[in-house]
Amino acid sequence: DAGVTQSPTHLIKTRGQQVTLRCSPISGHKSVSWYQQVLGQGPQFIFQYYEKEERGRGNFPDRFSARQFPNYSSELNVNALLLGDSALYLCASSSPAGGGRDIQYFGAGTRLSVL
Amino acid sequence: QKEVEQDPGPLSVPEGAIVSLNCTYSNSAFQYFMWYRQYSRKGPELLMYTYSSGNKEDGRFTAQVDKSSKYISLFIRDSQPSDSATYLCAMSGNTGNQFYFGTGTSLTVIP
């Protein structure tokens, strides 16, 4: 079975540009979460979506937005890129257990470099 | 104060050693505790998942949770060079959908 797939694997942008990252969850998983991992740090929660509805949002500015599609895939959008947005962006999908009982499985991530 | 504290290391041990990795946390609402392994430039891979206090063993790995002390541990027995990676602790509560991660501990097992 395919795991969580993310695209692209690596992206280089310049300050002020916009970027869209994509994620396909494990088959049967209806929940997708997005995390930002800066080098040397643990992942920081950005969003969680379940059944196309936002279920949680971390402490990130409005430049970050996301959506989930009917097939449960998801996109993360970041506008007006800053140098500090350079990071590994991780997508995790989880089984529909809900709440803290979710077990999240991660993709390999998209490495975003902002120049 | 961070929700989850983890010593970043780096930790270097000889092959065959027992490794102890630890995290402390401040939020008493955390009920679910996970350990992930992350190789360089890869996504985190789930190793262990535990609920509330107690021990859980899986092969060479043992996860331990002490909720009274707000302290969790991961023990690796007979460590192998292939265990060289960054180990992340993560936790969540009953009502939240957010996972809180430690900063990760970098482990190197020397052949």
Span A7-39, pLDDT tens digits: 999 999 999 999 999 999 999 888 899 999 999
**Residue range B43-58, pLDDT digits in tens:** 999 999 888 788 999 9
Query: Is residue A97 very low, low, confident or very high in pLDDT (cuts 50, 70, 90)?
Result: low
pLDDT of residue A77: 98
The nearest alpha carbon in chain B to A56 belongs to: B97
Average pLDDT over residues A51-74: 93
Distance CA B110, CA B108 (A): 6
CB A33 to CB B99 under 8 A? yes
CA distance B111 to chain A (A): 25
Per-residue pLDDT band at B70 (split at 50, 70, 90)? very high
Contact at CB, B97 and A104, closer than 8 angstroms: no
Distance from CA of B36 to the nearest CA of A (A): 10
Q: What percent of chain A has pLDDT over 90?
A: 78
Phi-psi region of A75 (alpha: psi -120 to 50; beta: other; left: phi over 0): beta
Candidate from A49-58, A68-77, B65-74 with smallest mean pLDDT: A49-58
pLDDT at A56: 87
How far apart, in whole angstroms, are the C-alpha atoms of residue B21 and residue B38?
A: 14
Mean pLDDT, residues B89-107 taken together: 86
Please state the separation of Cα B11 from the chain's center in Å: 13
CB pair distance less than 8 Å for B43 and A108: yes
Q: Which of B43, B46, B101 is nearest residue A107 as measured by Cβ atoms?
A: B43
Beta bridge partners of B45: B37
Show residues of chain A in contact with B49, CB under 8 Å: 103
Chain B residues in contact with A45 (beta carbon < 8 A): 98-100
Q: Is the pLDDT of residue B96 over 60?
A: no
Q: Which pLDDT value is given to residue B4?
A: 94
Q: B72 CB contacts (<8 Å, ≥6 apart)? A: B22, B23, B24, B25, B33, B50, B63, B64, B65, B66, B89, B91
Which residue shows structure tokens 């262990």?
B48
CB-CB neighbors (< 8 A) of B41 in chain A: 88, 111
The mean pLDDT value for B85-99 works out to 84
Give the number of beta-carbon pairs within 8 Å between A and B: 72
